[in-house]
Amino acid sequence: MVAAPLPAQRRAYDVATMHYGCSIYGLGVLANRPIPTVPRSTITTTDVRVSFGVLPEWFDSLEPHQVETTYVTDYGAACDTPALVFSRLHGGEFYRFSYADKTEFVVDQAGREIWCGWPEPLTLEDASTYLLGPVMGFVLLLRGLVCLHASAIVVDGHAIALIGPAGAGKSTTAAAFAARGFNVLAEDVVTLDDRGDDFLVRPAYPCIRLWPASAATLYGSSSALPPLTPNWDKRYLDLTRGPVLETSRFENTPRPLAAIYLLGDRRDVPEAPFVTPLDRAEGLMSLVANTYATKLMDKHMRAREFELLSRVLERVPLRRVTPHSDLARLANLCDRILTDFKSLDV
């Protein structure tokens, strides 16, 4: 028998404590606590409700037959614990993210309710790093939106997506563009909002996460930026006019996607950084490899993703960028991308 979701009494209690509204990826989000790095704003529609520090009442009484594990990472944390175990609960009425640090998320099938719990000494800031990335990426997928694992900047009113695997330099490159006066539209999750003739990138949230080495390269010292959480050494760049920006560099208007740049392996050669075209077959493989929550999709989501990405390639140029291995050449990397973008017929 499927356990009922939150009883009416608990739902009423949660609604009474939901005071913090904000917009993330074009969704109106209502939460019971402020979401770190996301400014509070007035929302007209509540698309998603987030309950921090609260898991569904039935969660602790789950029976083994009510849990279907569908994905386990092939990399782990301490003691060979998988970094993430993803499961379907109650026959797919809910989904569960179980992280190695014991942080737990439960998401309902419609992508409208999120519950989250974590142990000490972890904090709300730690939980929010998962929420704003993989969890919200999956929520968007449940709501019919395919997303790229990418950052996005705005040039001449158009969105340029910077895609690539973890460590490719997407966030660092976006931050370098922000330092040069360009607005950043999204970091980590880039929506492909299908509008027929265009694919819109929705505003994400005004923060870029950077490793200390990237912060030091861009701003002289890693201490120029505040830590993202008390338990992690990543820093964050506040795009709403934080300590190192003279004015806001966050774009809060959806923009049509005009080009995609795949950040390849860094090379220590004189001609780097440089830009080269990608053929259609390689381009499609690159997009599929860099969609968000790709390991969590079922066959119907996968089919929808493939069809949409095929149409993206028909309308949006995809280029490969080879950065230089020296981070000090970030300015040259930005120049190469801008020069190439201006040569495209968009």
Our measurement of the distance from residue 344's CA atom to the centroid of its chain's CA atoms, rounded to an integer in Å, reads: 27
Q: Residue 69: what pLDDT?
A: 94
Strands, DSSP E only, in 57-137? Answer: 67-72, 84-89, 94-99, 104-108, 113-117
Phi, psi of 75 (to 5 degrees): -130, 155
Q: Residue 295: what pLDDT?
A: 82
Among 53, 48, 55, residue whose Cα is nearest residue 21: 48
Kindly give, in sequence order, each residue whose CB lies less than 8 Å from that of residue 243, ignoring residues fewer than 6 positions away.
Answer: 224, 225, 226
Q: Among all chains, which residue has been given the structure tokens 């017929």?
A: 345
Q: Among all chains, which residue has been given the structure tokens 């120049």?
A: 335
- Indicate whether 9 pLDDT > 50: no
Domain with CATH 3.90.228 in the chain: 146-343
The rounded radius of gyration (Å) of the Cα atoms in the chain is 20
Q: What is the pLDDT of residues 19-51, one digit of tens each?
A: 899 999 999 999 999 999 999 999 999 999 999
Q: What is the pLDDT of residues 268-308, one digit of tens each?
A: 999 999 999 998 899 999 999 999 888 888 888 889 999 99
CATH topology of domain 146-343: Phosphoenolpyruvate Carboxykinase; domain 3 (3.90.228)
Q: What is the pLDDT of residues 238-263, one digit of tens each?
A: 999 878 888 999 999 999 999 999 99
Rounded mean pLDDT, 189-207: 94
Choice between 7 and 237, residue whose per-residue pLDDT is larger: 237
Rounded mean pLDDT, 313-341: 93
How far is CA 263 from each of CA 146, 191, 323, rounded to the nearest angstrom? 20, 18, 7
Q: Would you list the DSSP string of 178-246?
A: HHTT--EEEEEEEEEEE-SS-EEEPP--SEEEE-HHHHHHHHSSGGGS-EEETTEEEEEEETTT-TT-S
